Amino acid sequence: MENNTEIKRKKIFSGVQPSGVLTIGNYLGAIKNWVSLQQDYDCIYCVVDMHAITVRQNPADLRRRTLEGLALYIACGIDPDKSIMFVQSHVPAHAELSWVLGCNTMFGELSRMTQFKDKSKKHSDNVNAGLFTYPVLMAADILLYQTDVVPVGIDQKQHIEIARDIAERFNGVYGDTFTVPEAYIPKVGMKITSLTDPSKKMSKSDPNPNSYVNIIESRDDTIRKIKRAVTDSDSEVRFAEGKDGICNLMNIYSSFTGKSYEKIEKEFTGKGYGDFKLAVGETCADCLQPIRDEFSRLTADKSYLESLMKDGAEKAGYIARKTLSKVYRKIGFYQLPR
Ligand code: TRP
């Protein structure tokens, strides 16, 4: 029997593209949060391979990274018994709902998306329609699961806003259909920046590998990259304007250790950047070690990962189909008698 004193748990949906090996930016800004959210929410985490092909991908790499993406989620602490994990292209409802939502999204609002503007500059030889309608597919991802909360980095805020607009518009025209989702943007760790240019976001697709640390980077490389991180000419470990490089390292250190900025400043008073960077590098390497170990154990067991994928796609597909058939009914698509 249902226990009616139990409060219905809210739903979380989020995803990461399998377009490169995840960095500590992805980990601290997103996945680490996903892990703790599992306690209080029903969570669905997706490897969004369909979004990845808005930029040209090498097929063999895409295939491998998709499997690795799932392995990383688990290695980072997403529990397949608690949360649903799946690959976007395994649930056809994403593409199907995306079409319907696209017919309820305006050309003008998509033109205003900053990520579209950025990416079409960066890939000016391949400004394809998928790049333009990317936010519609993302809205479909979120709305299919009647998601309440979407944990994302600050760079995705605009995409959540358009998903809300699309949901509200659809509900207005066709009656209550979608839960209107909210963005959840964590404070610390929300924007880990590049180690070589702290004015830019740390990105797994940055051509300079010294600008990021992968989650599965070797200990030596982790320490080396952090030691070489660009900082200012001052020598004080302090969270202040004009010290973007140091602030970034403090963010990394704080996210891994839970220490406040003040505490970190105290810890390194009278010490130089060298000591600080070494401490950040070693802490980072220590914290990543168990993830790396688990990742190699998992990727050696492809059949286990495939069985998880299949299971995830079934569970997600069941929920998604329910929403999709509700949408099809509302918009007047002819329903065949069952
Ligand atoms: N656009 C997101 C990113 O690049 C990835 C993504 C796709 C996503 N669909 C999503 C994130 C749905 C949250 C919810 O980071």
Domain 209-297 has what CATH class?
mainly alpha
CA 5 to chain centre: 33
239 CA from centroid of ligand 1 (Å): 30
Closest to 152 in 3D by CA, of 189, 116, 193: 189
CA 307 to chain centre: 23
Helix crossing, 129-144 with 302-331: angle to 10°? 90
- Please give the Cα distance from 143 to 208 (Å, whole number): 36
Q: What is the pTM of this model?
A: 0.90
The answer to whether the CB of 136 is under 6 A from ligand 1 is no
The answer to whether the CB of 204 is under 6 A from ligand 1 is no
Helix crossing, 129-144 with 114-122: angle to 10°? 140
For the CA atoms of 259, 264, 266, 267, the dihedral, rounded to the nearest 10 degrees, stands at: 100
Contact 327, 146 (CB under 8 A): no
- String of DSSP letters for 252-265: HHHHHH---HHHHH
Mean pLDDT by 10 residues, the chain (338 residues): 66 93 88 93 98 96 96 96 98 98 97 92 93 98 98 91 98 98 79 93 90 95 97 92 94 94 96 96 97 96 98 98 98 94
53 CA from centroid of ligand 1 (Å): 13
In the annotation, is 227 catalytic?
A: no
The CATH superfamily assigned to 11-184+302-331 is HUPs (3.40.50.620)
The answer to whether the CB of 214 is under 6 A from ligand 1 is no
- Please give the Cα distance from 12 to 10 (Å, whole number): 7
Pocket test for ligand 1, best of 11, 16, 143 (most atoms within 8 A of CB): 16
CB atoms within 10 A of CB 268: 20
pLDDT at residue number 190:
59
- Please give the Cα distance from 289 to 164 (Å, whole number): 39
In the annotation, is 11 catalytic?
A: no
Residue 177 has φ and ψ, to the nearest 5°, of -130, -45
- Please give the Cα distance from 234 to 282 (Å, whole number): 22
Contact 132, 107 (CB under 8 A): no
- Please give the Cα distance from 236 to 337 (Å, whole number): 72
- Exactly one of 11, 201, 225, 243 is catalytic; which is it? 201
15 CA from centroid of ligand 1 (Å): 5
The answer to whether the CB of 138 is under 6 A from ligand 1 is yes
Pocket test for ligand 1, best of 11, 12, 13, 17 (most atoms within 8 A of CB): 17
Q: Where are the domains of the chain?
A: 11-184+302-331, 209-297
Contact 215, 30 (CB under 8 A): no
- Please give the Cα distance from 89 to 196 (Å, whole number): 35
In the annotation, is 32 catalytic?
A: no
CA distances from 325 to 151, 224, 321 (A): 26, 53, 6
Q: Measuring from atom 6 of ligand 1, which residue has the nearest CA?
A: 15
Q: Do domains 11-184+302-331 and 209-297 have the same CATH topology?
A: no
Contact 93, 136 (CB under 8 A): no
138 CA from centroid of ligand 1 (Å): 6
The answer to whether the CB of 320 is under 6 A from ligand 1 is no
- Strands (DSSP E) contained in 30-171 are 42-47, 84-87, 149-151
CA angle 95, 49, 46 (to 5 degrees): 85
